Chains A and B, each alone.
Chain A
């Protein structure tokens, strides 16, 4: 048995760009979520990006180029860090409304990874609620964006998925093999 099973995970990356065909003037709130056995050693676990407009050409890209730099330590891979992004935009009346939530798991394998995060937004239950939420700017949203990283209580949510966010990250680990964990083998796929 390994005596000291403490290992470090360093995540460097960025929220590169997004693809939202229907919307403009978007910003995102980024958070790194991790389990109870994990401790943030350095870096900021939450942040808000700038507001960006999409390009006028046919690509219609949003670019945030928002940095993510965190180092975490743990004794246990359970609760491995996940990235949660909540994208907000301005509606026709200039109010902040939520345009999408998404979550990815940071890869467990060291290296460079580019990940597409599909985004989804909660839907109103009735047509009347859809209309009043459009009128008043009070779209349905999750109380806590971190809800999308948990398993319980998801079955009662109805969402509409649209758009995606592109995230690149570099993962580095320290002492995960000496803690006894094997995270990769020749039989696995490339993330």
Chain B
């Protein structure tokens, strides 16, 4: 059985409409992947950076998969939330990134986008504090039904991950 380990950190994020951020993350894989150890989704702490630069999460990621096929390579889907001074949370970015396929260290920058509402939505979100959100989160990491959306660019999420593979050469996989 071939195995894959993904060990690293969800480092932080910057460039969003507010510097006080947290991130909800989730790994999605195909049917040939079985999670043996580790947590495949979670939410980071909310960070208020003192210099209003990068929000640091240093959130640990440690996953151990057993795989029967390389289809459905893991994708990490992210939702970034910001918190204002009243403690209200607002969604400020959606993004996804594929995990690297080569063993070793990878520094990853994930670009994010958010839904651009109408002018009325933007006025409402300024006062009430919540913009339009996706009903179905599947569209974050998939390409179907994207054409219906109108979005605007948002900040960047940083990850640093080590990938370890086991028995790939026995199954003839080159990575």
Please indicate whether A and B come from the same complex rather than being unrelated chains: yes
A56 proximal to B (CB < 8 A): no
Give the chain B neighbours of A120 by CB distance below 8 A.
45, 47, 56, 58
Given A1-B167, A102-B58, A160-B50, decide whether A155 and B43 contact each other with a Cβ distance below 8 A: yes
Residues A188 and B12 in contact in the complex (CB < 8 Å), given A162-B50, A181-B165: no
A31 interface residue, CB < 8 Å from B? Answer: no
Tell me what chain B mostly uses at the interface: helix, strand, loop, or mixed: strand
Tell whether A109 is near chain B: CB-to-CB under 8 Å. Answer: yes
Q: Does A76 lie at the interface of the complex (its beta carbon under 8 Å from any beta carbon of B)?
A: yes
Question: Is A137 an interface position by the 8 A CB rule?
Answer: no
Please determine whether A151 and B45 come into contact, CB atoms closer than 8 angstroms: no
| Chain B: minimal CB distance from A20 (Å) | 11
Question: Which B47-69 residues sit within 8 Å CB-CB of chain A?
Answer: 47-51, 54-56, 58-62, 64
Q: Is A57 an interface residue (CB 8 A)?
A: no
Tell me if A108 and B102 are in contact (CB < 8 A).
no
Contacts of B50 in A (CB 8 A): 160-162
A105–B8 touching, CB < 8 Å: yes
Q: Which residues of A contact B12 (CB under 8 A)?
A: 118
Q: Residues 130-148 of chain B: 1 if any A CB is under 8 Å from the residue's CB, otherwise 0?
A: 0000000000000000000
A149 CA to B44 CA in the complex, in Å? 11
Any chain B CB within 8 A of the CB of A70?
no
Q: CA separation between A190 and B34, bound complex, in Å? A: 29
Q: Complex: how many Å from CA A182 to CA B5? A: 10
Q: Is the CB of A182 within 8 A of B48?
A: no
Given A104-B58, A160-B48, A161-B50, also A80-B7 (CB < 8 A): yes
Whether B60 lies near A159 (C-beta < 8 A) is: no
A154 to B105, CA, bound (A): 25
Q: Mark B100-121, 1 if CB is under 8 A from A, else 0.
A: 1011111100000000000000
A149 proximity list for chain B (CB < 8 A): 60
Most buried by B among A1, A77, A150, A152: A77
B105 touches A152 (CB 8 A): no
Residues 62-95 of chain A: 1 if any B CB is under 8 Å from the residue's CB, otherwise 0? 0000000000000011111010000000000000
Minimum CB–CB distance for B157 against chain A, Å: 15
Number of interface residues of B (CB under 8 A): 48
Q: Which of B9, B83, B163, B166 has the most CB of A within 10 A?
A: B166
Contact of B164 with A158 in the complex, beta carbons under 8 Å: no
Known contacts A78-B64, A185-B102, A188-B102: A108-B162 contact under CB 8 Å: yes
Within 8 A of B (CB), among A134-168: 148-152, 154-155, 157-162
Complex Cα distance A77/B12, Å?
Answer: 24
B151 interfacial by beta-carbon distance below 8 Å:
no
Partner of B46, one of A1, A82, A159, A185: A159
Q: Name the B residues within 8 Å of A189 (CB-CB).
A: 104-107
Q: Determine if A47 is an interface residue (Cβ-Cβ < 8 Å).
A: no
Within the assembled complex, what's the spacing in Å between the Cα atoms of A96 and B24?
34
A148 touches B58 (CB 8 A): yes
Question: When chains A and B are docked, how far (Å) is the Cα of A161 from the Cα of B59?
Answer: 13
Q: Which of A108, A155, A161 contacts B48 (CB 8 A)?
A: A161
- Residues in A with CB closer than 8 Å to B104 are 109, 183-185, 187-189
Identify the 7 closest CB pairs spanning chains A and B, nearest first.
Answer: A188-B104, A155-B43, A187-B102, A118-B56, A162-B50, A108-B162, A161-B56
Pick 30 A–B contacts, CB within 8 A, sort by A: A35-B62, A77-B5, A78-B37, A80-B7, A82-B60, A103-B60, A105-B7, A105-B8, A107-B162, A109-B104, A109-B105, A118-B54, A123-B48, A154-B43, A154-B45, A155-B22, A155-B43, A155-B46, A157-B45, A160-B48, A161-B48, A161-B56, A181-B166, A182-B164, A182-B168, A185-B102, A187-B175, A188-B104, A190-B105, A191-B105
